[in-house]
Chains A and B, each alone.
Chain A
Amino acid sequence: MDTALNFYILTFFDLTLITALLWLAYQSLSTDNIFKAVILFVSFGLLMALAWVRLHAPDVALAEAALGAGLTGPLFLAAYRRMEKLQKKERRLERNDEQENDEQS
């Protein structure tokens, strides 16, 4: 392929990648929805792996894809599930307390 054309395509790709990374990072940090934040974080990790490939660091790219996106994401999701379970339990306890109070009164 023509080297100049190749250069333009790659520069365009890099700029798109950088924009997408910054946007995903901002969205992931600013959203109020934790589940959405985790999904955005995983997408950020995958794009970050692509960025490492563009920086000619295949080792870091592999680690980022496997650890950053593949494992940290599920870890966050597992923690999220536990948080939800805990909150449900707390609510049930609160409801039980209310019922007891009602019965007493």
Chain B
Amino acid sequence: MSSHNTYPERKNSLALPVILLTSGLFLLLSYTLLSIEQAGGLAAQVQSALPKSGAESPVTAVLLNFRGYDTLLEVMVLFLSILGAWSIGRASLPQALIKTSTIQISCVRLLIPLMILIAFYLVWQGTRFAGGAFQGGSILAAAGVLLLVSDFPKLIQIHSIHLRLGFILGPVTFILIAFYCIFTNKTFMAYPAAIVSQLLLFIEIACAISIGLTLAALFAGGRPAQESSIAQRKGSTL
């Protein structure tokens, strides 16, 4: 082993079977792709149903309305990922308030509001052009990562209960609206036509906040050092 940042050892015994299997899969996929008729897919159907979907962008219409169930599961998968990361350990944030340079702090203070503005602009314009909950959420997460790497002093004062509420905001909003549709339209996720665009925007904003918080918390890499008061009380009685 030459250096500490290399793999411990390379096993090449599996290389040939893996290459053969991958090439086989590649050929199969190529054959399938070439044998599909050039019918233009479902674009025509999506376009014809677009006025009813509550979104002007076909991508947003498919993601949140026609195939909304898939997006709900995606948001749940993100939630599961943060559950996994938090169950492994605590985040390695600086325990004490460390001194950060004034220039760095003022730069971060200038950038963060701008990033939040851009994030919500992306979410809002997602109903008409490119953009949406995932894109806006990742900008929010980037703001969070910037705060984390610049050791922003207020960061260690964040209570875990606020983070927990933030993580479930998106999934819970999505599920509540989906169940609300059962009462109004007798079908799961069949949005009522009168308020469909407002509902979609509501879901997108809630999901963007959750996605941003989740991804930033994944970067931090664990539970915050400061637990919520409930958890502390539980710990003391045990």
Contact = CB atoms under 8 A, between A and B. Distances in A.
Chains A and B come from one and the same complex: yes
Nearest to B215: A71
Contact of B135 (A66, A79, A80): A66
Contacts of B134: 63, 66-67
Contacts, number: 57
A33 interface: yes
A71 B145 contact: yes
A20 B10 CA distance: 26
Contact of A59 (B5, B7, B131, B145): B131
B4 A84 contact: yes
Interface in B163-180: none
Interface residues of B, number: 26
Contacts of A78: 219, 221
A35 B145 CA distance: 19
Interface residues of A, number: 22
B135 A62 contact: yes
Contacts of B130: 58-59, 61-62
Contact of A71 (B92, B129, B138, B149): B138
B112 interface: no
Nearest to B122: A62
Given A32-B6, A82-B92, A63 B135 contact: yes
**Residue among A58, A74, A80 with most chain B CB within 10 A:** A74
A59 B155 CA distance: 32
Given A33-B5, A35-B5, A84-B5, A67 B138 contact: yes
Given A59-B130, A59-B132, A74-B219, A34 B138 contact: no
A70 B138 contact: yes
Interface string B187-204: 000000000000000000
A59 B221 contact: no
A35 B3 CA distance: 12
Interface string B1-44: 00111110010000000000000000000000000000000000
B59 interface: yes
B186 to A, nearest CB: 32
Nearest to B145: A74
B142 A66 contact: yes
Interface of B: 3-7, 10, 57, 59, 92, 122, 129-132, 134-135, 138-139, 141-142, 145, 149, 215, 218-219, 221
Interface of A: 32-35, 58-59, 61-63, 66-67, 70-71, 74-75, 78-80, 82, 84-85, 87
- Nearest first, the 4 A-B pairs at minimum CB distance are A58-B130, A66-B138, A32-B6, A62-B135
